[in-house]
Structure 1
Amino acid sequence: RRQIDWMKTTRMAVVISEEQGEMEKFRKWDLDITPHRQLIKQGFETQDGKRIDIDMAFKKEEHPFRIAIVCAMWLTGFDVPSLATLYLDKPLKAHTLMQAIARANRVNEGKNNGLIVDYCGILKNLRIALATFAGHKGDNGGRTQPGVDPVKPADDELLLDLKKAIIMVRRYLETCNFRLVDILEKTGFERNKLIDNAKEIINRNDETRKRFEIMAREVFKKFKACINIKSASKYREQYDAINIIYNRLQIDREQADITDIIRQLHAVVDAAIEIPQNQTADPDNKLYDISKIDFEQLRREFERCPNKNTTVANLKDAIEKRLDRMIQQNPLRTDFQEHYEKIVTEYNSEKDRATIEKTFEELMRFVNGLDYETRRTVREGLDEENLALFDLLVKPGLSKKDIERIKKVAKDLLEHLKADKLILDNWREKEATRDSIKIEIHNCLYNDDTGLPESYNEDEISQKTDIVFAHIFRLYNTANPEVYEVA
Structure 2
Amino acid sequence: QIVIATCRQEAKFGTITTHSEKYFYRWADPYPRTVDDLDHGESGPNDQQRLVAGMLDRDNLLDLIRTFTLFSTNDNGETVKIVGRYQQFRAVKLAVKRLLAGQSPRERSGIIWHTQGSGKSLTMMFMVREMYRQARLSNWKVVFVTDRTQLEGQLSETSQSIGFTVKVADSIKKLKDLLRSDSSDLVMAMIHKFREADLTETFPELNVSPHILVMTDEAHRSQYALLGANLDKGLPNAARIGYTGTPIDKTERVFGDYIDKYTMRQSIDDGVTLEIVYEGRTHNAEVTDQTGMDTSFADVFSDYNLQQRLEILGYGSRDAYLEADPTIAAKAKDMVAHYLTHVFPNGYKAQVVATSREAAVRYKKHIDSALAAALADLEQANPSKLDLARLRELTTDVIISGSHNDLPHLKVYSDQSRHEASIKSFKLAFGNEEEGVTGNLGILIVNNMLITGFDAPVEQVMYLDKVIVAHNLLQAIARVNRVGGESKDKGFVVDYVGVGHHLKKAIDAYDEREQKEVLDSISFPEEELRELRASHAAVMDLLKKHGLTDMTDHDAFFDLFYDEDLRFDYLLAFKQLTKCLNLVFPARQALDYMADYQALTEINVLAGKHLRDERLSMKGIPPKLRGITDVYLESKGIEIKIEPISILDEDFQKQVGKRGRTKTKAAEVEHAIRHHLDVELDDDPDLQASFAQALAKIFEEFRNNWNRIYLELEKLRTRIIHAGQEPTYGLHRKKQIPLFRMFAREIFREDKAATAPPFVFADAQMPYGPDKEDRISQLVDLTQKAFLAVERELKLTGFWESIPARNKLKADLQNILLAPEFKKLPGLVANRAQLISRIMEIAEKNNDIILYAA
Aligned letter for 2:596? Q
Task: Quote the Cα distance in structure 2 between the aligned partners of 1:313 and 1:126.
Answer: 60
Aligned letter for 2:694? H
Cα distance per residue 1:156-186 (max 9 Å; x no partner): 4433333333333334434554424xx5xxx
- Check if 1:416 corresponds to 2:792: yes
After TM superposition, give the deviation of residue 383 of structure 1 in Å: 0.9
Residue 261 of structure 1 is matched in structure 2 by 652
Higher helix share: 1
CA contact (8 A) 2:698 2:709 kept: yes
- Summarize the Cα distance change of 1:150–1:339 in structure 2 as closer, same or farther, 3 Å threshold: same
SS of residue in 2 equivalent to 1:336:
helix
Residue 822 of structure 2 is matched in structure 1 by 453
After TM superposition, give the deviation of residue 27 of structure 1 in Å: 12
Aligned letter for 1:359? I
CA contact (8 A) 1:159 1:226 kept: yes
Task: Quote the Cα distance in structure 2 between the aligned partners of 1:112 and 1:165.
Answer: 18
Aligned letter for 2:713? L
Residue 741 of structure 2 is matched in structure 1 by 391
- Summarize the Cα distance change of 1:445–1:238 in structure 2 as closer, same or farther, 3 Å threshold: same
Task: Quote the Cα distance in structure 2 between the aligned partners of 1:224 and 1:151.
Answer: 19
- Check if 1:335 corresponds to 2:665: no
Which structure: larger Rg? 2
After TM superposition, give the deviation of residue 450 of structure 1 in Å: 8.7
> Which stretches in structure 2 are left out of the alignment for 5+ residues?
1-346, 348-383, 396-414, 613-642, 749-767, 769-774
After TM superposition, give the deviation of residue 368 of structure 1 in Å: 2.2
- Summarize the Cα distance change of 1:471–1:449 in structure 2 as closer, same or farther, 3 Å threshold: closer
Alignment of 1:454-469 (within 5 A): 454=823, 460-469=831-840
- Check if 1:218 corresponds to 2:588: no
Q: 1:245 aligns with which of 603, 610, 620?
A: 603
Alignment of 1:77-476 (within 5 A): 86-88=460-462, 93=472, 96-97=475-476, 100-104=479-483, 113-116=489-492, 118=494, 123=499, 127=503, 131=507, 143=515, 153-180=523-550, 194-203=552-561, 205-227=563-585, 229-252=587-610, 253=612, 254-258=643-647, 259=649, 260-264=651-655, 306-332=660-686, 333-343=688-698, 350=704, 355-376=705-726, 378=728, 381-394=731-744, 395-396=746-747, 399-418=775-794, 420-421=795-796, 424=797, 427-428=799-800, 430=801, 433-447=802-816, 453-454=822-823, 460-476=831-847
Moved more, 122-131 or 220-229: 122-131
Cα distance per residue 1:412-466 (max 9 Å; x no partner): 2344244x22xx36x54x3xx2431341343255159999834576664444333
SS of residue in 2 equivalent to 1:385:
coil
- Summarize the Cα distance change of 1:229–1:393 in structure 2 as closer, same or farther, 3 Å threshold: same
- Summarize the Cα distance change of 1:196–1:119 in structure 2 as closer, same or farther, 3 Å threshold: same
- Summarize the Cα distance change of 1:478–1:102 in structure 2 as closer, same or farther, 3 Å threshold: farther
CA contact (8 A) 2:548 2:557 kept: no
CA contact (8 A) 2:535 2:573 kept: yes
After TM superposition, give the deviation of residue 262 of structure 1 in Å: 0.9
CA contact (8 A) 1:389 1:468 kept: yes
Cα distance per residue 1:232-279 (max 9 Å; x no partner): 2222222222222222222443414223331336xxxxxxxxxxxxxx
SS of residue in 2 equivalent to 1:375:
coil
Residue 371 of structure 2 is matched in structure 1 by none
Task: Quote the Cα distance in structure 2 between the aligned partners of 1:435 and 1:100.
Answer: 51
- Summarize the Cα distance change of 1:40–1:132 in structure 2 as closer, same or farther, 3 Å threshold: farther
SS of residue in 2 equivalent to 1:163:
helix
- Summarize the Cα distance change of 1:69–1:247 in structure 2 as closer, same or farther, 3 Å threshold: farther
SS of residue in 2 equivalent to 1:255:
coil
Aligned letter for 1:360? Y
Task: Quote the Cα distance in structure 2 between the aligned partners of 1:479 and 1:362.
Answer: 35
CA contact (8 A) 1:409 1:452 kept: no
Task: Quote the Cα distance in structure 2 between the aligned partners of 1:111 and 1:133.
Answer: 35
After TM superposition, give the deviation of residue 143 of structure 1 in Å: 4.2
Task: Quote the Cα distance in structure 2 between the aligned partners of 1:475 and 1:133.
Answer: 64
CA contact (8 A) 1:101 1:116 kept: yes
SS of residue in 2 equivalent to 1:378:
coil
- Summarize the Cα distance change of 1:176–1:89 in structure 2 as closer, same or farther, 3 Å threshold: closer
When normalised by structure 2's length, the TM-score is 0.36
Task: Quote the Cα distance in structure 1 between the aligned partners of 2:821 and 2:487.
Answer: 55
CA contact (8 A) 2:461 2:480 kept: no
After TM superposition, give the deviation of residue 319 of structure 1 in Å: 0.9
Task: Quote the Cα distance in structure 1 between the aligned partners of 2:422 and 2:520.
Answer: 43
Aligned residues: 378
SS of residue in 2 equivalent to 1:116:
strand
After TM superposition, give the deviation of residue 113 of structure 1 in Å: 4.3
Taking only the aligned residue pairs, the percentage that are identical comes to: 11
Q: Let me know the Cα RMSD of the aligned residues.
A: 5.6
Task: Quote the Cα distance in structure 1 between the aligned partners of 2:670 and 2:386.
Answer: 27
Aligned letter for 1:87? V
Task: Quote the Cα distance in structure 2 between the aligned partners of 1:5 and 1:465.
Answer: 57
- Summarize the Cα distance change of 1:217–1:313 in structure 2 as closer, same or farther, 3 Å threshold: farther
Task: Quote the Cα distance in structure 2 between the aligned partners of 1:101 and 1:29.
Answer: 21
